[in-house]
Chain A
């Protein structure tokens, strides 16, 4: 892992350290979510269906993590580039969810059956699995994907 990716991930973790994870007591907590495009809503339909069965806590956590992953990647500038290719974007996603979803929230793999596979399909279709440079277009697509994933499960209450 490159030092810059470490810094980006550290920044993400600092966010969670500073703001904390959403707590189970916040049953009425809401976060503002951007509604994805119709195309992206269709792309994440399976994830949305599965997340509608998730607990309030998990839906909040899911939305927060994807929103922040997207926000961090979207904050790249031309002079301060952290995410150079798709490997670094994957690292960001894997480490963010390893820490927030798995370690801190103690969610086991397959807690929601099919969620992992459905999410993988969304990324594979939106961006693919090639190792390739993060162009402005690819960055935009990644952020759109994160935004759409964050939206999944929204509106269930």
Chain B
């Protein structure tokens, strides 16, 4: 059974304060030359599968959607830097959702002080978390500690007490360079077409049953998700990745890779703009990835 866990808690003052710290707060000012080609479809998930063919969307266990949306965005950005921008980096694994969530709720959201528990965060807090504190990853060795799975318990703990101080230096090595506000479909489409993912926080809900991969807007979800694809036909739409595992029923878009067919769907342009107009969604760019690794040789000195 899929539990529709949500945890977007808007904080307009917090978001406004974050935006005031940015030299270029919006995509329009940060990337004035980003052109939008109204004939070109893109699906950023291909780059992720190129560097991590076994990738599957996880399912959050608590109201940590902001952590999952932003960790997914940072993971995707690292893959795009490698596969699309050909940056000399290596893939370091999926970003640990608990790290983004913990930094957003405690180090950013509560001035580093433990809170009283509960769930939830907001987009600008996560933006500040990944740009100021950075990210941790699954599978990396942090002084003998290796995270292999995300648990609701870990997210609850870090969401309450923050990311342990001893892990912060590792997180600081892998930051997102910038996050800029995206407020409508066209801006998000331009960002995605230029290989910048857009984590979105909104109150928009959807039916859990898709029609050929299209999401039907319905109800209210205080939820964070991730825009990471663009198509123009049959109608302009962005692909919206959820964090509830393979959660959607109905008929899928079979042109998508299987790992993305039921973990997200296409959201029409008007609904995208409605979601983005809440002014707590960002395009992210420039991931400080892992140093390229070298093979010692190809034949191990056998011949």
Contact = CB atoms under 8 A, between A and B. Distances in A.
Interface of A: 79, 81, 84, 86-87, 90, 93-94, 97-98, 101-102, 107, 109, 112, 115-116, 119-120, 123-124, 127, 129-133, 135
B54 A135 contact: no
B302 A132 contact: no
Given A81-B54, A123-B299, 6 more contacts: A84-B54, A98-B300, A98-B302, A129-B297, A131-B295, A132-B90
A81 B50 CA distance: 11
Contacts of A87: 295
A132 B54 CA distance: 15
Contact of B298 (A79, A102, A120): A120
Contacts of B164: none
Nearest to A134: B53
Contact of B301 (A84, A109, A124, A133): A109
26 contacts: A84-B52, A90-B295, A90-B298, A93-B299, A94-B300, A94-B302, A101-B303, A107-B303, A115-B303, A116-B299, A119-B298, A119-B299, A120-B299, A123-B298, A129-B294, A129-B298, A130-B88, A130-B90, A130-B292, A130-B293, A130-B294, A132-B82, A132-B292, A133-B51, A133-B83, A135-B83
Interface residues of B, number: 22
Contacts of A135: 50, 83
A116 B50 contact: no
Contacts of B292: 130-132
Contacts of B83: 133, 135
Contacts of B300: 90, 94, 97-98
Interface string B269-298: 000000000000000000000001111011
B163 to A, nearest CB: 28
Contacts, number: 74
A2 to B, nearest CB: 10
B12 interface: no
Contact of B303 (A86, A116, A129, A133): A116
A63 to B, nearest CB: 14
A101 B302 CA distance: 8
Contact of A120 (B82, B293, B294, B297): B297
A86 B297 CA distance: 11
B91 interface: yes
A54 to B, nearest CB: 11
Nearest to A121: B298
B258 interface: yes
Given A131-B293, A133-B51, A79 B258 contact: yes
A12 B279 CA distance: 56
Interface of B: 50-54, 82-83, 88, 90-91, 258, 292-295, 297-303
A80 B52 CA distance: 13
Nearest to A138: B50
B297 A81 contact: no
Nearest to A81: B53
B295 A116 contact: no
Nearest to B298: A123
Contacts of B297: 90, 120, 129
Contacts of A115: 303
Contacts of A116: 299, 301-303
A97 B302 contact: yes
A105 B168 CA distance: 53
A120 B299 CA distance: 7
A98 B300 CA distance: 9
A135 B46 CA distance: 11
Given A81-B54, A130-B293, A133-B50, A97 B299 contact: yes
Nearest to B79: A133
A109 B303 contact: yes
Contacts of A124: 298
Contacts of A129: 294-295, 297-298
A57 B224 CA distance: 64
Contacts of B51: 133
